[in-house]
Structures are given as structure tokens and as C-alpha cells.
């Protein structure tokens, strides 16, 4: 099998495509959460903390600026993303439990089983 053909088979498997789609959606989701934190939550938290601007929080060490305010915003990003993912996984697990709890309908008897039931019923008579 040629390398190109083998790679094509690997790349077109469902799991690889699902993973690629998940990474793309995850990247977009991360941008949305970052925007939420940077543009909505951090200003509100700053107001609650008497006008603290987290983007401006930094310490100068010589010529270097250590921007710990942006680090705090990144921590909020992580916490929100982790919380949303936790809630999504919890909801999916609850749906799976409900699906598993529903009893499956018994399979319909085969022709052979029907014939045996008829013979049994005739023998009873």
C-alpha cells in the first residue's frame, strides 16, 4: 500500500474528522469565552473592586513589564471554559443514562419460534 493511499485512509476515518471539527469549534469557542471575559466580566469585576482595570495591572522590573492582570483574565477564561465543558458533559451523561434506562422492546419472534409456539398451543389442546 502506498504511503499516500494509507495516509488518505487514515485522514478520512470518522474519528480523525470528528477530532478536526472539534478542534476548530473549540478554537472558536475559546475566542468567544475570551471576549466574554475581557469585554464583559473583567470590567464588571473591576468596577466591583473599585475601578481596577485588569488589563493595566502590571509590575515593572527594569525594562520588563510583568502583566499579571492579563494572567488573571486568562485564569477566568480557563475557569469559565472548564465550567461550560463540565456542564455539557454532565448533560450528555444524563441523557445517556436516560437512554440506557429505557428498556428495549423484546425482539419479535422468528418464524421458527412462531411455528414452535403454534405446535405448543396445539399440543395443549
Q: Give the Cβ contact number of residue 55 at 10 Å.
A: 14
- Which string of DSSP letters, residue by residue, matches 53-114? -GGG--EEETTEEE-HHHHHHHHHHHHHHHHHHHHHHHHHHHHHHHHHHSPPPPPPPPHHHH
Q: Report pLDDT digits (tens) over 40-82.
A: 888 888 888 888 887 788 999 999 999 998 888 888 888 888 8
pLDDT of 40: 87
Domain count, the chain: 1
**Backbone torsions φ then ψ of 56, nearest 5 degrees:** -95, -5
Give the global pTM: 0.55
* C-alpha 100: how far from chain center: 21
Question: Which CATH number characterizes residue 58's domain?
Answer: 1.10.1200.120
> Is pLDDT at 105 greater than 80 in this prediction?
no
Q: By residue range, what is the domain housing residue 36? A: 3-124
User: pLDDT band at 14, cuts 50/70/90?
Assistant: low
Amino acid at each position: 500500500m502506498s504511503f499516500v493511499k494509507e495516509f488518505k485512509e487514515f485522514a478520512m476515518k470518522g474519528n480523525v474528522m470528528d477530532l478536526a471539527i472539534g478542534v476548530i469549534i473549540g478554537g472558536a469557542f475559546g475566542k468567544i469565552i475570551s471576549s466574554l471575559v475581557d469585554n464583559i466580566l473583567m470590567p464588571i469585576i473591576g468596577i466591583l473592586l473599585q475601578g481596577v482595570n485588569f488589563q493595566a495591572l502590571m509590575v515593572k522590573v527594569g525594562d520588563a513589564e510583568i502583566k499579571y492582570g492579563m494572567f488573571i483574565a486568562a485564569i477566568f477564561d480557563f475557569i469559565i471554559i472548564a465550567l461550560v465543558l463540565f456542564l455539557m458533559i454532565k448533560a450528555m451523561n444524563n441523557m445517556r443514562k436516560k437512554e440506557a434506562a429505557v428498556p428495549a422492546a423484546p425482539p419479535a419472534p422468528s418464524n421458527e419460534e412462531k411455528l414452535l409456539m403454534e405446535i405448543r398451543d396445539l399440543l395443549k389442546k
